[in-house]
Amino acid sequence: MTQAAVEQRDELADVPPEKRPQHIAVIMDGNGRWARRQGLPRIEGHRRGVASVRAVTEECARLKLKQLTLYCLSSENWKRPQPELDFLMHLLEQYLVEERATLLREQIRLTVIGRREGIPASVQEEMDRTIAMTAGHTGLNLCLAINYGARGEIVDAVRRIAADARAGIIDPASLDESTIEAKLYTAGMPDPDLLIRTAGEMRFSNYLLWQISYAEFWVTETCWPEFREPQLHAAIRDYAARNRKFGGLNAADLLA
pLDDT digits (tens, 9 = 90+) for 127-149: 999 999 999 999 999 999 999 99
Give the sheet arrangement for strand 194-197, strand by strand.
109-113, 141-148, 67-74, 23-27, 194-197, 216-219
- Give residue 207's pLDDT: 98
Answer yes or no: is 173 within a domain: yes
The 3 state secondary structure assigned to 93-151 is HHHHHHCHHHHHHCCCEEEEECCCCCCCHHHHHHHHHHHHHHCCCCCCEEEEEEEECHH
**pLDDT tens-place string over residues 69-82:** 999 999 999 999 99
Q: Which of 55, 65, 50, 145 is nearest to 107 (CA)?
A: 65
Residue 74 domain boundaries: 22-240
Residue 207, phi then psi, degrees to nearest 5: -115, 115
Q: Number of structural domains, the chain?
A: 1
Radius of gyration of the chain (CA): 19
Residue 12, phi then psi, degrees to nearest 5: -105, 20
Answer yes or no: is 216 within a domain: yes
Angle at 21 between CA 16 and CA 22, to 5 degrees: 105
Answer yes or no: is 137 within a domain: yes
pLDDT(253) > 80: no
Torsion of CA 145, 232, 88, 98, to 10 degrees: -90
Answer yes or no: is 196 within a domain: yes
Q: Is 206 a catalytic residue?
A: no
**pLDDT tens-place string over residues 176-225:** 999 999 999 999 999 999 999 999 999 999 999 999 999 999 999 999 99
Answer yes or no: is 245 within a domain: no
End-to-end CA distance of the chain: 49
- In the set 77, 156, 191, 206, the catalytic residue is 77
- Give residue 186's pLDDT: 98
Answer yes or no: is 138 within a domain: yes
- In the set 14, 29, 147, 156, the catalytic residue is 29
Q: Is 128 a catalytic residue?
A: no
Alpha carbon 246 to its chain's center = 22
Answer yes or no: is 199 within a domain: yes
CATH number at residue 201: 3.40.1180.10
Answer yes or no: is 170 within a domain: yes
